Amino acid sequence: MLVQASSRPPASAHIVVLGNEKGGAGKSTLAMHVAVALLNLGQRVATVDLDLRQKSLTCYIENRRAWAKRSGLALILPEHHCVPRGTTQKLDENETIEFSGFVDILTMVEETHNFIVVDTAGSDNHLTRLAHSMANTLITPLNDSFVDFSVLGNVDPETYSVTGESHYARMVREARQQRRMADGALLDWVVVRNRVSSLESRNMQRIARSLGELSARLGFRVAEPLGDRVIFREFFPRGITALDKLDEKTLTARLALSHAMARKELMSLLATLKLPIDERAQQRAAARAEWNAVRGQPLDVCDVIGDETAPSQQSA
Ligand SMILES: Nc1ncnc2c1ncn2[C@@H]1O[C@H](COP(=O)(O)OP(=O)(O)OP(=O)(O)O)[C@@H](O)[C@H]1O
Ligand SMILES: [Mg+2]
């Protein structure tokens, strides 16, 4: 059973970009989780895949759609778009086609959605740069390794104190400047260490310290880390997330402690992001959830007398 979010046109959408030039940091995984978290809060969410080669987010969402149909589960879906790839013989023509494809998608969804969640490729390209310059919130997941850290900054090999900023950090700085010049808006940049081991190590402490130092220099905020949990790899074929109602039917396996921990960490990340949630939509979603929870139960007298607050079904 598929559920599409409700259709009230809000003000211009808040753009959340997942970015890091380093591949495999968790951008697509987090893009999906942020999108589902916002949908659960009743927000109208559009997603855009700018990784035209891998299309991991697109596959994740397609898997979700297929699993909802196959299992009969009510899995809420964002309105998803993947920028069409330029296929001419000329590189610059392809870039122009893809560039305007992205802008067309944004124009289409910006007035009808609360949030646009954009997943970018793990490389520096024209679309990645454009997305960064349009972002309101940039989330950069980072593997807990100095190899991954090196796209943001360099450290002294003896003291591990920061000696300078690196190429991805410079790209974000430029994007921020462009954004400020274009409309005066400020980009809120949040870096989150991902796939962090449960065993405390000297490397972890050094990364945390260097990141703290770099955050003051580059002007980003550091979120609580996300643990390395195998469930994130298992979710993909079914398109589910740690934020879905995970029962045995959803997983066809027992709910483990790691699901609860993953969910807690993701909720903490969401709180850190301080995204501009549309509260009326959130209240409607809460009322809807409450109503769905009791609709199978026999009616009380007061229900029959008339509860006009019961929300209408989103759709099935
Ligand atoms: N917290 C986590 N715990 C365990 N595995 C994770 C976690 N987050 C992501 N992964 C896994 O790490 C791998 C890379 O994640 P993902 O594809 O989301 O990264 P990415 O930054 O989008 O990569 P790319 O740059 O190639 O697009 C995937 O196998 C994913 O399942
Ligand atoms: Mg990806």
pLDDT digits 0-9 by tens, 19-67 = 999 999 999 999 999 999 999 999 999 999 999 999 999 999 999 999 9
Across 211-232, average pLDDT: 95
Give residue 119 CA to ligand 2 midpoint distance, Å. 7
Instruction: Determine whether the shortest distance from the Cβ of 225 to ligand 1 is under 6 A.
Output: no
Give residue 96 CA to ligand 1 midpoint distance, Å. 29
- Domain 2-277, architecture per CATH: 3-Layer(aba) Sandwich (3.40)
Ligand nearest to the CA of 19: 1
Q: Hey, what amino acid is at 2?
A: L
Residue 5 · residue 115 · CB < 8 Å = no
Give residue 23 CA to ligand 1 midpoint distance, Å. 9
Residue 36 · residue 238 · CB < 8 Å = no
Q: Give me the residue label for tokens 């879906």.
A: 77
Ligand nearest to the CA of 49: 2
Instruction: Determine whether the shortest distance from the Cβ of 140 to ligand 1 is under 6 A.
Output: no
Q: What is the pLDDT at residue 307?
A: 43
Pocket probe for ligand 1: among 21, 28, 29, 125, the residue whose CB has the most ligand atoms within 8 Å is 29
> Domain map of the chain by residue range?
2-277
182 or 172: which leads in pLDDT: 172
Q: How many CB atoms lie within 10 A of CB 145?
A: 14
pLDDT digits 0-9 by tens, 181-208 = 888 889 999 999 999 998 888 999 999 9
Q: What is the pLDDT at residue 163?
A: 96
- CA dihedral angle for residue 290, residue 295, residue 300, residue 303, rounded to 10 degrees: 70
Name every residue whose Cβ is closer than 8 Å to that of residue 31 and which is 6 or more positions away in sequence.
18, 47, 57, 117, 118, 119
Across 164-168, average pLDDT: 96
Angstrom distance (rounded) from CA 192 to CA 142: 6
58 or 295: which leads in pLDDT: 58
Q: For residue 188, what are its two tokens? A: 């809120």
Nearest ligand 1 atom to the CA of 25 is: 21
Under DSSP, is residue 238 helix (H, G, I), strand (E, B) or coil? helix
Q: Average model confidence (pLDDT) for the chain?
A: 88
Cα 223 off chain centre by? 14
Give residue 33 CA to ligand 1 midpoint distance, Å. 12
Nearest ligand 1 atom to the CA of 54 is: 27
CB hemisphere CA count around 235 (13 angstroms): 26
137 or 299: which leads in pLDDT: 137
Q: What is the pLDDT at residue 253?
A: 56
Ligand nearest to the CA of 20: 1
Instruction: Determine whether the shortest distance from the Cβ of 29 to ligand 1 is under 6 A.
Output: yes
308 or 36: which leads in pLDDT: 36
Q: Which helix (H) or strand (E) holds 158?
A: none
Helix axes 257-273, 27-40, angle to 10 degrees: 80
pLDDT digits 0-9 by tens, 239-259 = 999 999 866 666 655 567 888
Pocket probe for ligand 1: among 30, 142, 168, 232, the residue whose CB has the most ligand atoms within 8 Å is 232
Q: What residues sit around ligand 2, an ion, with C-beta below 5 angstroms?
A: 27-28, 56
